[in-house]
Amino acid sequence: MVLHLHREIELLKKHIIHEATMVEDNLRDSILALIIKDEELANDIIARDDAIDIKEVELEEECLKIFALYQPVAVDLRYLVAFLKLNNDLERIGDLASNIAARAASLSRQKSITIPDTIPKISTIVQKMLKNSIEAIIDLDGKKAADVLEMDDEVDAKHFAMFQMIADRIKEQPDSVESWLEVLAISRYLERIADHCTNICEDVEYMLSGHIHRHQNKS
Protein backbone atom coordinates (compact mmCIF):
# COMPACT_ATOMS: atom_id res chain seq x y z
CA MET A 1 0.00 0.00 0.00
CA VAL A 2 2.77 2.44 0.97
CA LEU A 3 4.73 1.61 -2.18
CA HIS A 4 1.69 2.33 -4.36
CA LEU A 5 1.08 5.58 -2.50
CA HIS A 6 4.62 6.78 -3.12
CA ARG A 7 4.34 5.86 -6.80
CA GLU A 8 1.19 7.96 -7.02
CA ILE A 9 2.95 10.88 -5.31
CA GLU A 10 5.89 10.66 -7.74
CA LEU A 11 3.45 10.72 -10.66
CA LEU A 12 1.70 13.68 -9.08
CA LYS A 13 5.05 15.49 -8.89
CA LYS A 14 5.51 15.09 -12.64
CA HIS A 15 2.08 16.57 -13.31
CA ILE A 16 2.76 19.46 -10.94
CA ILE A 17 6.06 20.19 -12.70
CA HIS A 18 4.22 20.23 -16.03
CA GLU A 19 1.65 22.68 -14.68
CA ALA A 20 4.41 24.84 -13.19
CA THR A 21 6.22 24.95 -16.54
CA MET A 22 3.04 26.15 -18.26
CA VAL A 23 2.65 28.89 -15.65
CA GLU A 24 6.31 29.93 -15.88
CA ASP A 25 6.06 30.18 -19.67
CA ASN A 26 2.95 32.36 -19.49
CA LEU A 27 4.49 34.68 -16.90
CA ARG A 28 7.70 35.09 -18.91
CA ASP A 29 5.83 35.65 -22.17
CA SER A 30 3.39 38.13 -20.63
CA ILE A 31 6.27 40.41 -19.67
CA LEU A 32 7.85 39.92 -23.08
CA ALA A 33 4.56 40.91 -24.75
CA LEU A 34 4.47 44.00 -22.55
CA ILE A 35 8.03 45.09 -23.32
CA ILE A 36 7.90 44.54 -27.09
CA LYS A 37 4.25 45.68 -27.34
CA ASP A 38 3.12 42.45 -29.00
CA GLU A 39 -0.67 42.32 -28.84
CA GLU A 40 -0.85 38.99 -30.68
CA LEU A 41 1.44 37.30 -28.15
CA ALA A 42 -0.55 38.84 -25.29
CA ASN A 43 -3.80 37.43 -26.65
CA ASP A 44 -2.16 34.03 -27.14
CA ILE A 45 -1.16 33.96 -23.46
CA ILE A 46 -4.73 34.75 -22.41
CA ALA A 47 -5.97 31.84 -24.53
CA ARG A 48 -3.32 29.50 -23.08
CA ASP A 49 -4.59 30.12 -19.56
CA ASP A 50 -7.51 27.77 -20.22
CA ALA A 51 -5.08 24.82 -20.35
CA ILE A 52 -3.74 25.76 -16.90
CA ASP A 53 -7.27 25.91 -15.49
CA ILE A 54 -8.00 22.44 -16.87
CA LYS A 55 -4.75 21.09 -15.45
CA GLU A 56 -5.54 22.55 -12.03
CA VAL A 57 -8.87 20.72 -11.90
CA GLU A 58 -7.28 17.44 -13.04
CA LEU A 59 -4.58 17.65 -10.36
CA GLU A 60 -7.10 18.46 -7.63
CA GLU A 61 -9.15 15.43 -8.61
CA GLU A 62 -5.99 13.29 -8.61
CA CYS A 63 -5.08 14.46 -5.10
CA LEU A 64 -8.57 13.72 -3.82
CA LYS A 65 -8.43 10.26 -5.39
CA ILE A 66 -5.16 9.55 -3.54
CA PHE A 67 -6.72 10.72 -0.26
CA ALA A 68 -9.68 8.39 -0.79
CA LEU A 69 -7.69 5.33 -1.86
CA TYR A 70 -4.70 5.46 0.48
CA GLN A 71 -5.75 7.60 3.47
CA PRO A 72 -2.22 8.99 3.93
CA VAL A 73 -0.92 10.07 7.34
CA ALA A 74 1.98 12.07 8.80
CA VAL A 75 4.56 13.22 6.21
CA ASP A 76 2.63 11.87 3.22
CA LEU A 77 -0.52 13.66 4.38
CA ARG A 78 1.33 16.98 4.79
CA TYR A 79 2.90 16.53 1.36
CA LEU A 80 -0.45 16.01 -0.35
CA VAL A 81 -2.06 18.92 1.49
CA ALA A 82 0.82 21.14 0.40
CA PHE A 83 0.46 19.90 -3.18
CA LEU A 84 -3.23 20.80 -3.18
CA LYS A 85 -2.36 24.31 -2.03
CA LEU A 86 0.51 24.53 -4.53
CA ASN A 87 -1.90 23.55 -7.30
CA ASN A 88 -4.22 26.39 -6.30
CA ASP A 89 -1.35 28.90 -6.08
CA LEU A 90 -0.13 27.94 -9.55
CA GLU A 91 -3.60 28.42 -11.01
CA ARG A 92 -3.83 31.87 -9.41
CA ILE A 93 -0.37 32.80 -10.71
CA GLY A 94 -1.54 31.70 -14.15
CA ASP A 95 -4.56 34.01 -13.81
CA LEU A 96 -2.31 36.90 -12.84
CA ALA A 97 -0.02 36.25 -15.81
CA SER A 98 -3.14 36.37 -17.98
CA ASN A 99 -4.09 39.68 -16.35
CA ILE A 100 -0.64 41.06 -17.17
CA ALA A 101 -1.10 39.90 -20.77
CA ALA A 102 -4.46 41.68 -20.96
CA ARG A 103 -2.82 44.91 -19.79
CA ALA A 104 0.04 44.32 -22.24
CA ALA A 105 -2.45 43.99 -25.10
CA SER A 106 -4.05 47.29 -24.13
CA LEU A 107 -0.73 49.10 -23.65
CA SER A 108 0.57 47.82 -26.99
CA ARG A 109 -1.80 50.31 -28.59
CA GLN A 110 -0.47 53.19 -26.46
CA LYS A 111 2.64 54.22 -28.36
CA SER A 112 3.36 57.19 -26.11
CA ILE A 113 3.90 54.93 -23.09
CA THR A 114 7.38 53.61 -22.31
CA ILE A 115 7.38 50.80 -19.75
CA PRO A 116 9.54 51.78 -16.75
CA ASP A 117 12.67 49.69 -16.17
CA THR A 118 11.34 48.82 -12.73
CA ILE A 119 8.71 46.49 -14.23
CA PRO A 120 11.18 44.07 -15.91
CA LYS A 121 13.39 44.29 -12.80
CA ILE A 122 10.48 43.21 -10.57
CA SER A 123 9.57 40.54 -13.10
CA THR A 124 13.09 39.09 -13.06
CA ILE A 125 12.94 38.69 -9.29
CA VAL A 126 9.42 37.25 -9.38
CA GLN A 127 10.30 34.73 -12.09
CA LYS A 128 13.27 33.58 -10.00
CA MET A 129 11.00 33.32 -6.95
CA LEU A 130 8.56 31.16 -8.89
CA LYS A 131 11.29 28.85 -10.20
CA ASN A 132 12.88 28.49 -6.77
CA SER A 133 9.58 27.97 -4.95
CA ILE A 134 8.64 25.10 -7.28
CA GLU A 135 12.06 23.51 -6.83
CA ALA A 136 11.82 24.03 -3.07
CA ILE A 137 8.54 22.13 -2.77
CA ILE A 138 9.50 19.36 -5.18
CA ASP A 139 12.90 18.77 -3.56
CA LEU A 140 11.87 19.80 -0.03
CA ASP A 141 14.68 22.36 -0.08
CA GLY A 142 14.40 24.59 2.97
CA LYS A 143 17.28 26.84 1.84
CA LYS A 144 15.57 27.74 -1.44
CA ALA A 145 12.33 28.35 0.42
CA ALA A 146 14.11 30.76 2.77
CA ASP A 147 15.71 32.56 -0.18
CA VAL A 148 12.30 33.11 -1.76
CA LEU A 149 10.95 34.61 1.46
CA GLU A 150 13.84 37.10 1.48
CA MET A 151 13.28 38.06 -2.17
CA ASP A 152 9.67 38.93 -1.39
CA ASP A 153 10.86 41.94 0.63
CA GLU A 154 12.74 43.27 -2.41
CA VAL A 155 9.64 42.92 -4.59
CA ASP A 156 7.53 44.77 -2.02
CA ALA A 157 10.06 47.64 -1.92
CA LYS A 158 10.18 47.99 -5.70
CA HIS A 159 6.40 47.82 -6.01
CA PHE A 160 6.07 50.55 -3.37
CA ALA A 161 8.52 52.73 -5.33
CA MET A 162 6.32 52.36 -8.42
CA PHE A 163 3.60 54.48 -6.81
CA GLN A 164 5.73 57.66 -6.76
CA MET A 165 7.15 56.89 -10.18
CA ILE A 166 3.66 56.55 -11.68
CA ALA A 167 2.53 59.74 -9.91
CA ASP A 168 5.41 61.58 -11.58
CA ARG A 169 4.56 60.11 -15.00
CA ILE A 170 0.92 61.17 -14.63
CA LYS A 171 2.01 64.75 -13.89
CA GLU A 172 4.19 64.70 -16.98
CA GLN A 173 1.52 63.07 -19.19
CA PRO A 174 -1.92 63.93 -17.77
CA ASP A 175 -3.61 62.66 -20.94
CA SER A 176 -2.23 59.16 -20.28
CA VAL A 177 -3.61 58.60 -16.79
CA GLU A 178 -5.43 55.37 -17.66
CA SER A 179 -2.37 53.90 -19.35
CA TRP A 180 -0.11 54.65 -16.41
CA LEU A 181 -2.64 53.13 -14.03
CA GLU A 182 -2.47 49.97 -16.16
CA VAL A 183 1.31 49.94 -15.68
CA LEU A 184 0.78 50.27 -11.93
CA ALA A 185 -1.70 47.37 -12.06
CA ILE A 186 0.97 45.19 -13.69
CA SER A 187 3.34 45.99 -10.83
CA ARG A 188 0.57 44.98 -8.43
CA TYR A 189 0.01 41.70 -10.27
CA LEU A 190 3.71 40.90 -10.02
CA GLU A 191 3.65 41.69 -6.31
CA ARG A 192 0.72 39.32 -5.85
CA ILE A 193 2.57 36.57 -7.74
CA ALA A 194 5.46 37.06 -5.32
CA ASP A 195 2.98 36.60 -2.47
CA HIS A 196 1.81 33.29 -3.96
CA CYS A 197 5.45 32.16 -4.21
CA THR A 198 5.83 33.07 -0.55
CA ASN A 199 2.76 30.97 0.26
CA ILE A 200 4.34 28.00 -1.52
CA CYS A 201 7.55 28.34 0.47
CA GLU A 202 5.68 28.66 3.74
CA ASP A 203 4.10 25.33 2.81
CA VAL A 204 7.60 23.90 2.35
CA GLU A 205 8.32 24.89 5.94
CA TYR A 206 5.09 23.15 6.94
CA MET A 207 6.08 19.99 5.08
CA LEU A 208 9.53 19.93 6.67
CA SER A 209 8.52 20.75 10.23
CA GLY A 210 4.80 20.03 10.51
CA HIS A 211 4.30 23.52 11.91
CA ILE A 212 2.38 26.39 10.30
CA HIS A 213 4.54 29.53 10.29
CA ARG A 214 2.09 32.03 8.79
CA HIS A 215 0.81 34.88 10.99
CA GLN A 216 3.32 34.12 13.77
CA ASN A 217 4.72 37.66 13.64
CA LYS A 218 1.31 39.21 14.08
CA SER A 219 0.43 40.56 17.51
Domain assignment present for residue 218? The answer is no
Domain assignment present for residue 49? The answer is yes
Domain assignment present for residue 146? The answer is yes
- Domain count for the chain, please give it: 1
Overall pTM > 0.85: yes
pLDDT, tens digit, for every residue of 169-190? 999 989 999 999 999 999 999 9
Cβ neighbours of residue 71 closer than 8 Å, sequence gap 6 or more:
none
Q: Residue 139 belongs to a domain with what CATH number?
A: 1.20.58.220
pLDDT at 171: 92
- Rounded CA-CA distance 203/136 in Å is 10
pLDDT at 72: 85
pLDDT at 217: 54
pLDDT, tens digit, for every residue of 136-182? 988 889 999 999 999 999 999 999 999 999 999 999 989 999 999 99
**pLDDT less than 70: residues of the chain:** 1, 210-219
Cβ neighbours of residue 154 closer than 8 Å, sequence gap 6 or more:
125
Domain assignment present for residue 20? The answer is yes
Domain assignment present for residue 219? The answer is no
pLDDT at 215: 53
- Rounded CA-CA distance 165/185 in Å is 13
pLDDT at 212: 60
For 109, the 3-state DSSP assignment is coil
Domain of 31? Answer: 2-209
pLDDT at 214: 57
Domain assignment present for residue 214? The answer is no
Domain assignment present for residue 189? The answer is yes
Give all strands (DSSP E) within 89-218, no chain letters: none
Residue 198, exposed/middle/buried by CB under 10 A (0-12, 13-18, 19+)?
buried
The answer to whether 59 and 15 are in contact (CB under 8 A) is: yes
Domain assignment present for residue 108? The answer is yes
pLDDT at 4: 87
